[in-house]
């Protein structure tokens, strides 16, 4: 009997020990994972690009990228083949953002979502989280105009209107309206400032407008998308030189008779910067939807053809604005998922992924967004949705 008890005790003890082991093994795995991820970060943070690689261009650069790292693939992109070499000022004119990092002023009014207590999942994709919102999946084309700052803005604003209205308001805000009418934004097709674009939305509002092809809404985009690949159904190549900024027309296309220009406007209720911190950006994205982000474009990025982009070679060309839609981890490498405005032939069907956690090319330090003002279009909304929204964003509303 005693022996049996002893045996039972031993078994119980062994069981406990075993459990302890399971726990400590799990703990160790998690610890190792953290260590692994911070090793990845250490490896990329403050790294120096080979002096030789930093001046490469053309096929030499593409070969260098493909032979010296495995995170992403490079290939010659038709979109940029008409430009002459790495110093073509029209090519770099497409990167229409002067300062990719938030200004001191921008940092003074940061989104409060950074203080929310939220569980942050390992991966997140706005397209899956808000499947009703078609605009999140759309890829636009800025054509031969340095209007990326306007595209990143109207794309994210359109998504946020859909998200805030629980899928009831599906709009495509007009890149042309913002590009041509916002004077405080900068220089139209010669570049602009993302935060100023969101402020303009709050103050002046932005009308609807589709891409060039669909030609719908109040002010569709005036420039055609660019021909690439071998898809002959597409269009002529974009002109080499940048288009002049379109004139600010405060009326809708003649074919659009739904509403007047002022009736067609959608407004924001607030515009803000987001703290340059991975978790702060994740919380803001999960709460209100896609964001506009800016980063530095080097020659190698133009040749991106899939994978997790990490700057590897080539010269710095200029600042570019795009739309952040999610994040994930691939083979232990954390990344952001981003929508570009260079048509669906570029990158991963128009999207790209970039290393997350080391402020790669400034990608985490120029994040901006804002909240749509749904009461301006309240006739199409149910009351409880508005109440829900007020509750969610109380201190952001006027």
Ligand X SMILES: *[C@@H]1O[C@H](CO)[C@@H](O)[C@H](O)[C@H]1NC(C)=O
DSSP 45-75: TT----TTGGG--HHHHHHHHHHH-SSEEE-
- CA-based radius of gyration for the chain: 24
Asked if residues 211 and 204 have their Cβ atoms less than 8 Å apart, the reply is: no
Which two structure tokens, joined as six digits, stand for 18?
Answer: 């075993």
- Which residue from 147, 211, 269, 337 is in contact with ligand X, where contact means CB under 6 A? 211
Catalytic residue among 218, 340, 343, 361: 340
Q: Around Cβ 376, how many Cβ atoms within 10 Å? A: 13
Which two structure tokens, joined as six digits, stand for 71?
Answer: 């995170």
Region at 58 (left for phi over 0; alpha for psi -120 to 50; beta for the rest): left
Q: Confirm or reject binding of residue 210 to ligand X (CB under 6 A).
A: yes
Give phi and psi for 173, each to the nearest 5: -70, 150
Task: Assess whether 320 carries a catalytic annotation.
Answer: yes
- Which residue from 29, 38, 63, 213 is in contact with ligand X, where contact means CB under 6 A? 213
Q: Which stretch binds ligand X (CB under 6 A): 80-88, 211-219, 321-329, 386-394?
A: 211-219
**Spatial distance between the Cα atoms of 105 and 341, rounded to a whole number of angstroms:** 27
Tokens 């709050």, residue? 202
Catalytic residue among 133, 145, 148, 238: 148
Site string for ligand X, 135-154 (x = CB under 6 A): ---x----------------
Calculate the alpha carbon distances from 212 to 66, 143, 161, 372 in Å: 35, 10, 22, 25
Site string for ligand X, 81-120 (x = CB under 6 A): ----------------------------------------
- Which residue from 214, 250, 332, 390 is in contact with ligand X, where contact means CB under 6 A? 214
Q: Around Cβ 115, how many Cβ atoms within 10 Å? A: 10
Q: Which stretch binds ligand X (CB under 6 A): 30-38, 97-105, 207-215, 314-322?
A: 207-215
Q: Which stretch binds ligand X (CB under 6 A): 17-25, 58-66, 104-112, 208-216?
A: 208-216
Instruction: Tell me how far, at minimum, the Cβ of 20 lies from ligand X, in Å.
Output: 57
Size of the site for ligand X (CB under 6 A): 6
Residues between 285 and 324 that touch ligand X (CB under 6 A): none
- Identity of the residue, 101 or 140, whose beta carbon is nearer to ligand X in the bound complex: 140
DSSP 312-359: -SS-EEEEEEEEEEEEEEETTEEEEEEE-SB-TTSTBTTEEEEE-SS-
Instruction: Tell me how far, at minimum, the Cβ of 131 lies from ligand X, in Å.
Output: 16
Asked if residues 165 and 381 have their Cβ atoms less than 8 Å apart, the reply is: yes
Which two structure tokens, joined as six digits, stand for 251?
Answer: 């009326």
Instruction: Tell me how far, at minimum, the Cβ of 290 lies from ligand X, in Å.
Output: 16
- Identity of the residue, 165 or 344, whose beta carbon is nearer to ligand X in the bound complex: 344
Instruction: Tell me how far, at minimum, the Cβ of 338 lies from ligand X, in Å.
Output: 17
Calculate the alpha carbon distances from 106 to 101, 147, 163, 358 in Å: 9, 20, 24, 21
Catalytic residue among 228, 288, 311, 320: 320
Q: Which stretch binds ligand X (CB under 6 A): 18-26, 31-39, 159-167, 205-213?
A: 205-213
Q: Which stretch binds ligand X (CB under 6 A): 11-19, 44-52, 210-218, 292-300?
A: 210-218
- Identity of the residue, 213 or 262, whose beta carbon is nearer to ligand X in the bound complex: 213
Give phi and psi for 59, each to the nearest 5: -65, -35
What is the binding site for ligand X (CB under 6 A)?
Answer: 138, 210-211, 213-214, 225
Catalytic residue positions? 148, 320, 340
């Amino acid at each position: 009997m005693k022996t049996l008890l002893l045996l039972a005790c031993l078994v119980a003890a062994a069981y406990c020990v075993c459990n302890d082991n399971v726990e400590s093994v799990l703990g160790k795995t998690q610890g190792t994972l953290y260590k692994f991820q911070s090793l990845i970060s250490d490896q990329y943070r403050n790294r120096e690009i080979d002096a030789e690689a930093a001046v490469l261009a053309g096929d030499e650069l593409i070969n260098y990228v493909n032979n010296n790292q495995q995170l992403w693939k490079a290939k010659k992109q038709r979109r940029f083949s008409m430009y002459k070499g790495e110093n073509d000022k029209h090519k770099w004119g497409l990167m229409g953002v002067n300062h990719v990092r938030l200004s001191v002023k921008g940092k003074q009014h940061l989104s409060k979502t950074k203080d929310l207590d939220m569980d942050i999942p390992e991966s997140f994709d706005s397209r899956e989280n808000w499947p009703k919102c078609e605009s999140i999946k759309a890829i636009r084309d800025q054509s031969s105009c340095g209007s990326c700052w306007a595209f990143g803005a109207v794309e994210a604003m359109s998504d946020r209107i859909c998200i805030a209205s629980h899928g009831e308001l599906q709009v495509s805000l007009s890149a042309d309206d913002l590009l041509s009418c916002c004077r405080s934004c900068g220089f139209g097709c010669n570049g602009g400032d993302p935060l100023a674009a969101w402020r303009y939305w709050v103050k002046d509002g932005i009308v609807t407008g589709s891409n060039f092809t669909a030609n719908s809404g109040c002010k569709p985009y005036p420039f055609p998308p660019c021909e690439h690949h071998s898809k002959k159904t597409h269009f002529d190549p974009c002109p080499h030189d940048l288009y002049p900024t379109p004139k600010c027309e405060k009326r809708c296309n003649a074919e659009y008779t739904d509403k007047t220009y002022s009736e067609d406007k959608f407004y924001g209720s607030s515009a803000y910067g987001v703290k340059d911190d991975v978790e702060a950006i994740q919380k803001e994205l999960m709460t209100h939807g896609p964001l506009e982000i800016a980063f530095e474009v080097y020659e190698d990025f133009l040749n991106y053809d899939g994978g997790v982009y990490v700057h590897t070679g080539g010269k710095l060309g200029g600042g570019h604005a795009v739309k952040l839609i999610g994040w994930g981890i691939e083979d232990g490498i954390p990344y952001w998922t981003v929508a570009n405005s260079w048509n669906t032939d570029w990158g991963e069907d128009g999207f790209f992924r970039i290393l997350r956690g080391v402020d790669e090319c400034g990608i985490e330090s120029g994040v901006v967004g804002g909240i749509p003002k749904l009461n301006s279009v309240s006739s199409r909304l149910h009351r409880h949705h508005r109440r829900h929204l007020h509750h969610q964003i109380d201190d952001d509303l006027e």
